[in-house]
Amino acid sequence: MATVTFDKATRIYPGATTPSVDELDLHIEDGEFLVLVGPSGCGKSTSLRMLAGLEDVNTGRILIGDRDVTDVQPKDRDIAMVFQNYALYPHMTVRDNMGFALKISGTPKDEINKRVEEAAAILDLTPYLDRKPKALSGGQRQRVAMGRAIVRKPQVFLMDEPLSNLDAKLRVQTRTQIASLQRKLGVTTVYVTHDQTEALTMGDRIAVLKDGILQQVGTPQQMYDEPANEFVAGFIGSPAMNLGTFDIEGNHAVLGPARVELSRDTLAAVTPEDQGKIIIGFRPEALEVVDEQAGVSIPVKIDLVEELGSDAFVYGQLAGVEGAKLGSGAEDEASQIIVRVPPRTSPGRGNIIHVRVRPEHQHHFSASTGKRLPS
C-alpha cells in the first residue's frame, strides 16, 4: 500500500495554450478512497492518466509512496487501472481474463489460480469463471475488470468512470459494492467520475476540479456543508444549490421582492470590489414555507411539483421579476428555484408560495471572486 502525491503537477497538451491540469497539489493517504470529480473537460481523467503514466507531466512531480514516478514507465508503477469500457478479451474465459496480466509477468500457474479464485470469491464471480464475457451481464463484466485489477495486488487502484456503461439501478448497486470492496482490501484508490452523487456516496474525500484547477478537497460532508466557492456550491448536491446575486441594502440582501437577512460578519467581509453585491446560496432543504406576511421571504411561482413519495420538490421562478438569475446550478445559468417540501402538501402549478432561508443553512460568496464568506 502507498500514499499518492501530486506535487504541482501540470499537463499541457501539444498545441494547447492553457494547461489541462494546472499545478495540481494533492496528497492521498495510504488506503484512502479519493474521488476526483468535475464537469467534462475539467482535467480529472488527465490527472488520473498522469498518475498512471499514460500522460506526460510537463512540470511538477508525482510520487507513489516516497518514490518519484514522474518519468517511470506505466508497467513499473505498481498500479492497476479499471477503465470505462471493460476491455475484456472476448475469446478468453473469466478465469483467463482475470489472470492474464499475471501470466504475462511470469507468475506460476498455481499462484495465478489461487489469486483468481480469491478475487472471484470476493466479487461473487466463482460460478462464472469458465464463462466467456459475452455470457455475462454488464455488471458482471465490470466485476471481472475489477477482479483483473485485484489479482495483481497493486499499491494503487485507478478507476476512470467505471460505472458509466451501466444502467441507473445497476450503477447504484455496483458503486456500493466497489466502495465496500475498497474498504475491505484497504488499497489506496483514485476514482474519477463526473457524477457528484457517486462522489458523495463513495469517497472518503472528494477533490473538485474546474478548468484544470483544484477547487476544493474535503470529506463529502465538508463539501456539502461548507463549499469553498460558488462553483463547488452549485456543483455538489442533488438537486443543486439555489444561487443568486443580490444587492446589499442595509443588513439585507435584496433581489426584486426577495429579501434575505445578512449577519454582521458577512457584511464585514464584503469588499469594495464586490460593488455592493453578494452571491447567496441555499439548498432546497434549507427553505421553509412561510406565510406571505412573514416579511423577510422569497416569493416563488410554481412551475412544477415533483412528488417522490417520501419527499416532494417544487420547481419555480422568483415571482415578480422577469428573467431573475436565482435558482439551482452553478454561476450565471440559474433561473429555477428548487424547494423541498413535505409530500402532497404543495399547491399546484401557477400558485405562489413564500419561502424563507433557515439562517444556519445560508451560504454567502463574494460577488467579485466567488469565494466563500463567513456566515
pLDDT value of position 330: 47
Q: What is the CATH number of the domain that holds 193?
A: 3.40.50.300
Label the pairing between strands 79-82 and 156-160: parallel
Q: What is the CATH number of the domain that holds 369?
A: 2.40.50.140
Residues 156 and 169 reside in one and the same domain:
yes
Residues 242 and 141 reside in one and the same domain:
no
- Report the distance separating Cα 215 and Cα 228, nearest Å: 7
pLDDT digits (tens, 9 = 90+) for 144-185: 998 999 999 899 999 999 888 788 888 888 888 888 889 988
pLDDT digits (tens, 9 = 90+) for 58-71: 999 999 999 999 99
Residues 117 and 160 reside in one and the same domain:
yes
pLDDT value of position 334: 57
Q: How many domains does the chain have?
A: 2
- Report the distance separating Cα 125 and Cα 94, nearest Å: 9
- Report the distance separating Cα 122 and Cα 126, nearest Å: 9
Mean pLDDT over residues 76-92, rounded?
Answer: 89
Of 19, 12, 24, nearest to 208 by C-alpha is 24
* pLDDT over 60 (residue 129): yes
Q: Which residues pair with 318 in a beta bridge?
A: 300
pLDDT digits (tens, 9 = 90+) for 200-230: 999 999 999 999 999 999 999 999 999 999 9
Collapsing DSSP to helix, strand or coil, 84 comes out as coil
pLDDT value of position 323: 67
Residue where a domain terminates, one of 210, 233, 256:
233
pLDDT value of position 352: 92
Q: Which residues pair with 63 in a beta bridge?
A: 5, 68
Supply the pTM of this predicted model: 0.89
Q: How confident is the model at residue 329 (pLDDT cuts 50, 70, 90)?
A: low
Grid coordinates representing 318 are: 422568483
* b/e per residue 194-208 (b: at least 16 CB within 10 A): bbbebbbebbbbbbb
Residues 145 and 283 reside in one and the same domain:
no
- Torsion sign over Cα 335, 341, 347, 352: negative
